[in-house]
Structure 1
Amino acid sequence: MVTIQEHPLMKKIAENRSSLTPKGRILGDYILKNPRKVVFMTTKELAAACEVSEATVVRFVGQAGFDGYSDFLQTLRDLVDTELTLADRVDLTNLNKPGANRFQQEIFREIDNLKQLYKSVDMDSVNEVVDRLYQSPALYIVGSRASYPIAHYMGWLLGKIRQNIRTLKGSDTACIDCLTIAPADTLVVIIATSRYPNELIRLAKHVRRLGQKLVVFSDSALCPLNNFATLKLVAPSKHIPVFGNPTNITCLINYLLLELAGRYGDRLKAHQEKLEQAYRENDILFNLDTF
């Protein structure tokens, strides 16, 4: 795994240190030494910690190649998130802090995360993924660990829209068999969330070796599976989660499903009527009339 200090952003700060102003060097050194602190700081807080002006912070971020401080923080957030252990995440969130209104805090974090998704999502890529989901004869949806429930959710609902859907658990080695003998025109969708299980990275490599098309859904531009993707969709979160954050990816999936369903027209109705008949004949779902 690439460490924080090996990342291009941090290497750029270190390598360009000599060309920075004295105050810029102070900022750069502080960021290199304290990325986990900086990721939670405003421009005002970072300026105060380094005893420089906010204008100096803004100039520094621009010199680093970012459009603004929020873009800089998002990149730093993705770096820090990839490195954090479970214990680190608990320490960062002050779980033992008395009197914390965690419910309210969690709601506000989710709102922030959804705003980040709305601001950053690449709609051209999203619509191209909808095209692929519609055109591909067969779809295999893969997840592992925290991302498997999301993959199951997507695969389950895709089955309510179209045929030839399979959901695979990436931690099951039989997944290699299924992908190897899948039809050549299968579209594989892998959902990966930080901290990115190695089994999903291996599967992404395997899919590309087989020559199949691969779509990767992830929560960060730094996700290692993105390197093997035919298409990638990134649903970034603004906050670092303790145990995971499925909200943004799930929201993106819901949009994809709605767009996909709209393309099937009368075929969608026929497909769903067939399913509903099977539900009734086999007493699958609760029905008030028979209660």
Structure 2
Amino acid sequence: MTTPDLHPLIEKISASIEALTPKGRILGEFIISQPRKAVFMTTKELAEACEVSEATVVRFVAGIGYDRYSDFQQALRDFVDTELTLLDRLDIADMQAPGAVRFRRTVAEEIDNLQQLYNALDVDAMEAVVDVLDRRVPVHVIGSRLSFTLAYYMGWALTKVRDNIRIMKGSDRTTIDWLTIAPADSVVVIVATSRYPNELIRLGKLVKRLGQTLVVITDSATCPVLQFADHHLIAAAKHIPYLGSPTPMSCLINYLVHELASRQGEALKVHQARLEQSYWENDVLFNMKDLEGRTPE
């Protein structure tokens, strides 16, 4: 579990607490002591809880380095998300609501997450990651626990676009072997989602020591693997999920693969023709022509 005084947001508040006005200190102490309440509050609700004005809340947020309340709230959300256990998440998930309500809420939250992805991502940073994936070197894609689902999807999709892709599990200790014997110019992509398995942090540190290029795709600026990254992309979720929110990251991965494919020219057709030939020769995929030896009318 994250130590509160090591989190950037809590550090900012703690470092500023003595310089704040008395009302500002009340806000700071409330947020440090009750972050799980504060994260869901509007400026009005936070002001009322601390018996200060909304203007005081706005000044407080600016005083600790955030241009907008939404930026402060996202940082607080990332902190709370990392801290929450499964039981904590169950408490805030409202499992007693009718199924239709939960369905609509789930869809609405994912729409919010995608809107945030659309508004927040740095196009230049995405282009830089595609440049790295376009190098004619081995690419290793690694995930663990929830993020392995996304890592597997990314690696699988990349194999349809270029060669020399390896998908690896962070929990498999032989991953250390593969990275150690990989060429020094290899690219390693680590996909990391909250609550950030320690094995991915160790692998990030190893990649850094080996001098390979590390790309980190994650859901928060507080991801501990980011300290080792040469390039990174953050698909932050706006809401705190019960188990996970893979939609923004899968959308980002789709873009990266599609953009990479657009750069391959004729080589892409050659690569995919080889794959299709192999599928056909080895009877890998269902084909309607094989149904009773004829194509259905």
Change (3 A) 1:181 1:107: same
TM-score by length of 2: 0.94
Superposed displacement of residue 25, structure 1 = 2.0
% same residue: 60
2:278 is the alignment partner of 1:278? yes
Per-residue Cα deviation, 1:56-115 (whole angstroms, up to 9, x for no partner): 211111111101000000000111111111111111222234677100000110011111
Q: Secondary structure at the match of 2:141?
A: strand
TM-score by length of 1: 0.96
Q: Which amino acid aligns with 2:34?
A: N
- Measure, in 2, the Cα distance between the counterparts of 1:197 and 1:178: 19
2:241 paired residue number: 241
- Measure, in 2, the Cα distance between the counterparts of 1:167 and 1:266: 25
Matches within 5 A, 1:184-263: 184-263=184-263
Alignment RMSD, CA only?
1.4
2:126 paired residue number: 126
1:60 paired residue number: 60
1:6 paired residue number: 6
- Measure, in 2, the Cα distance between the counterparts of 1:57 and 1:32: 15
Q: Secondary structure at the match of 1:114?
A: helix
Residues 170 and 203, structure 1, Cα contact 8 Å, conserved in 2: yes
1:141 paired residue number: 141
1:172 paired residue number: 172
- Give the gaps of 5 or more residues in structure 2: 292-297
Change (3 A) 1:99 1:270: closer
Q: Secondary structure at the match of 1:275?
A: helix
Residues 121 and 235, structure 1, Cα contact 8 Å, conserved in 2: yes
Residues 217 and 234, structure 1, Cα contact 8 Å, conserved in 2: yes
Q: Which amino acid aligns with 1:270?
A: V
Moved over 4 A (4+): 97-100
Q: Secondary structure at the match of 1:101?
A: helix
Residues 141 and 167, structure 1, Cα contact 8 Å, conserved in 2: yes
Superposed displacement of residue 270, structure 1 = 1.1
- Measure, in 1, the Cα distance between the counterparts of 2:135 and 2:30: 50
2:104 paired residue number: 104
- Give the gaps of 5 or more residues in structure 1: none
- Measure, in 2, the Cα distance between the counterparts of 1:131 and 1:47: 46
Change (3 A) 1:100 1:39: farther
Residues 113 and 238, structure 2, Cα contact 8 Å, conserved in 1: yes
Q: Which amino acid aligns with 1:188?
A: V
